[in-house]
């Protein structure tokens, strides 16, 4: 039934159970692919904010131009994404036996985790998002959970797992 499933993965118990459910669907359908996605929150700095940080931190760190260099920042972000992907693969390697060629592990940065999940699913033409009902966020009861935001924003079915 589902051919492209996005699993939002943050390392929580609920996310692991979401992956295990998606893995069952994957094993039942030879044509199915699972995208296992970790979204890393990032907040871009305005140019003015970056300049202010640079001037305030110059005494502590010396010249900060290399800290604000876009190429260096891009390289650092890519390294972070790769580290997250490696961690996810290591934590789920036993569950990927015989299906690893149909599971794509990825990580992205986004200022909104929910928007990152929805945009990724749209870009890959996914037909289902599977995610834990609760993740690792500490303020979810105050500002609303990521799963609730995805349920609200998604154009495709969302299955939450407890």
Give me the sign of the Cα torsion angle 104, 110, 114, 115: negative
Q: What confidence tens digit (pLDDT) does each residue in 108-135 have?
A: 888 899 999 999 999 999 999 999 987 6
CATH superfamily of 4-42+84-161: HUPs (3.40.50.620)
Provide the percentage of residues in the chain whose pLDDT is more than 70: 75
Q: What confidence tens digit (pLDDT) does each residue in 75-112 have?
A: 777 777 777 778 877 777 777 778 888 999 898 888 89
Give me the pLDDT at residue 28, please. Answer: 93
Give me the pLDDT at residue 50, please. Answer: 52
Q: How confident is the model at residue 141 (pLDDT cuts 50, 70, 90)?
A: very low
Give me the pLDDT at residue 128, please. Answer: 98
Q: Where are the domains of the chain?
A: 4-42+84-161
């Amino acid at each position: 039934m589902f051919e492209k499933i996005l699993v939002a993965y943050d390392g929580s118990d609920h996310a692991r159970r979401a992956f295990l459910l998606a893995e069952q669907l994957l094993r039942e359908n030879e044509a199915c692919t699972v995208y296992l996605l970790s979204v890393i929150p990032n907040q871009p700095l305005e140019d003015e904010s970056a300049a202010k940080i640079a001037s305030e931190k110059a005494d502590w760190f010396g010249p900060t131009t290399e800290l604000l260099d876009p190429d260096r920042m891009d390289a650092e972000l890519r390294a972070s994404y790769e580290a997250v992907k490696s961690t996810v693969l290591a934590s789920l390697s036993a569950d990927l036996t015989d299906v690893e060629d149909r599971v794509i592990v990825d990580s992205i940065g986004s200022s909104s985790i929910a928007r990152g999940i929805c945009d990724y699913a749209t870009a890959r033409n996914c037909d289902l998002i599977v995610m834990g009902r609760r993740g690792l966020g500490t303020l979810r009861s105050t500002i609303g959970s990521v799963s609730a935001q995805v349920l609200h924003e998604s154009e495709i079915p969302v299955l939450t797992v407890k």
